[in-house]
Amino acid sequence: MDELDIIVFEDAEGNEIEMEIIDYLFYEGNEYVILSGKDPDDEQDEGVYVLQVVPIEGDEENEEFVPIDEALAEKVLNVYRTSEPMDELE
């Protein structure tokens, strides 16, 4: 079984939210990340999220994940659903 790539976000109330990185992809010149959220105390899936990947100026090792509007997220998800995962292309 593959090891999950998990990142942790903090919401406005200071609660930690774990998200699994599903894949990265490029769309119209920008990089995006597809994330899946799951609350370990809840059996229900919390959904799939799309964020834009933005390099942090002066920091070549880290990047920032920035929210995008819902219409763009749907377009990126449609591209993801019809393409091969990036790790299979490498």
pLDDT tens for residues 8-66? 888 899 999 899 999 999 999 999 999 998 655 555 556 899 999 999 999 988 899 99
Q: Cα 35–73–10 angle (5° rounding)?
A: 45
pLDDT, residue 10, reads 87
pLDDT, residue 90, reads 46
pLDDT, residue 41, reads 58
Q: Where are the beta strands (DSSP E) in 1-90?
A: 6-10, 16-27, 30-38, 45-56, 59-67
